[in-house]
Chains A and B, each alone.
Chain A
Amino acid sequence: MEQPRSDEDQQLVARTQNGEAAAFDQLVVKYTPRLYGLVYNMTSNHEDTNDLLQDVFSKAYKSIGGFRGKSSFYTWIHSIAVNMTLNFLKKRGRRFHLSLDDMDASVQNDKEFLELTATSSPVREADLSELQRRLNEAMLKLSDEHRAVVTMFHIQGMPHAEISKILRVSEGTVRSRLFYANRQLQNYLEEFRKNPVS
């Protein structure tokens, strides 16, 4: 996923710090879809994602006076979102229900989806909702920290360096978490290969 231009963000941040609330509105509009994807894939619940996202922007607005631009706004707002989501997941524990968004119909035209259905028999044979269910089940079996890394790397397309800045861990830690998470996902999805339509 392409990073937004940081100089534009800097201008919007400076205007917000000078009391121009409309500038912060522009940041909200710009970052909502991106952060929605991040939080949603960590929580697997639309309502929780909505509440969390509101809290994330509220917190960001309150603390933007102290933002000195040592990191980009992109990194800063993602750090807030990830930390708040991880805290939320710790409190929520295992007591939750899935509330998944529908898959956009445009997935049928996606190049990668077409490749997968052409080469992988489990994907070809399963319908979309089944595929979504299996993927989410596999993701939810990961720990919160591993799911965060998988979400940022595979789904959001962030580089290792950016993830390490957001999580404030070394790049090595990011790589090892990713390796471990991939191994776990491989095992979980193996069932999908053996029994694609169960």
Chain B
Amino acid sequence: MNQFSEDEIGKLLRLKKFEQPPPGYFENFLHEFHRRQRDELLREPLWRICLQRAQDFMFRLNVRTLASYPVAVTAVLICAAVISLKVYQAPETEKVATANRAPVIATTTIPDSNWSLSNPTATRDFGPTLVRTVKDSSHTHRATTTRYVLDSTPVSYEPALRF
């Protein structure tokens, strides 16, 4: 049987390029394209138009190249976080100290002669900077966790003074 050869099929198919749209179709195509685009724009909701504009803007900025330095960006972010933490924490500790120092209820000045083990909660007056409340000193003695120590040794551990 003498079938169409591949070459003949190719030639037959190439005749299909002579199938052409009506005259003037290509000339009007661009006009039709513009009209459809305008219609699309009018139909689209405002948020989508804004989103598209934003996307176009990002593409023009070429965000990908900016994001190609992730290590640098991460490092900067970490540094900023550490610095901000330090700045935030530093004044807070001072505030705690002054806040605890402020409500001094009473300072009982006991003459040196009255110092004895029988009065463990008594305090000595070391001047304005080292004022401690009666309540505070009892805390250092009994509390399980010490909040802070103003002296190098807690008052309760000082040897009883006898003169």
Question: What residues of chain A have their CB less than 8 Å away from a CB belonging to chain B?
Answer: 17, 25, 28-29, 32-33, 36-37, 40-41, 46, 50, 53-54, 57-58, 61-62, 65-66, 100-104, 106-107, 110, 112-113, 115-116, 120, 123, 131-132, 135-136, 139, 150, 154-157, 182, 185-186, 189-190, 193
Contact = CB atoms under 8 A, between A and B. Distances in A.
A187 B8 CA distance: 13
Contacts of B17: 37, 155-156
A40 B19 contact: yes
B29 A32 contact: yes
19 contacts: A25-B30, A28-B30, A36-B26, A37-B17, A100-B19, A101-B21, A102-B19, A116-B8, A116-B12, A120-B4, A120-B8, A132-B16, A135-B12, A154-B13, A154-B14, A155-B14, A182-B6, A189-B4, A193-B3
A124 to B, nearest CB: 13
A33 B30 CA distance: 12
Given A182-B9, A186-B3, A193-B4, A104 B15 contact: no
Contact of B10 (A57, A154, A193): A154
A50 B22 CA distance: 12
Contacts of A136: 16
B163 interface: no
Contacts of A61: 37
Given A58-B36, A186-B3, A101 B20 contact: yes
A36 B11 contact: no
B33 A103 contact: no
Given A58-B36, A65-B56, A186-B4, A107 B9 contact: no
B158 interface: no
Interface string B111-144: 0000000000000000000000000000000000
